[in-house]
Amino acid sequence: MRDFYVELGAQQAGLKKEYIDMLRSLPTYVPAAETLAKRETLPEPEDLPTMSVETLARHDGRKREDFPTHVSVLGYVFDTHPGFSSHRGRDITTRMLHQVKLNNLDLASDIL
């Protein structure tokens, strides 16, 4: 994953090779056994409640007491308070997939 961010940011920004090499040498996150164990307790996707796009749109942070701020990505809905205001109440799957493919997000996003 580190190489993804190095490719996305450092190389496109034209940073010096030495600095990019230093970024690549930094340690990356490794989940602890406790974190892995907690992940095992999460429900299966098919056991989770469904939410329509229309309902998700109401969770945009404007009426947080009635509709907590949510965002959806890859079919999962997350409470993201406070989160990015442009993502609130939206499905951002397309945006995230463009980012993974290193596409220019200014051209690929419907969030402008």
Instruction: Give the model confidence (pLDDT) of 26-48 as tens digits.
Output: 888 899 999 999 999 988 888 98
d(CA 33, CA 97): 29
Residue ranges per structural domain of the chain: 1-40, 43-112
Q: Over its length of 112 residues, how does the chain's per-residue pLDDT go in tens digits?
A: 566 667 777 777 888 889 888 888 888 889 999 999 999 998 888 898 899 999 999 999 888 888 999 999 888 899 888 878 888 898 888 888 877 777 776 665 555 4
- pTM, entire model: 0.56
Per-chain mean pLDDT for the chain: 83
| CA separation for the pair 79, 90 (Å, rounded) | 12
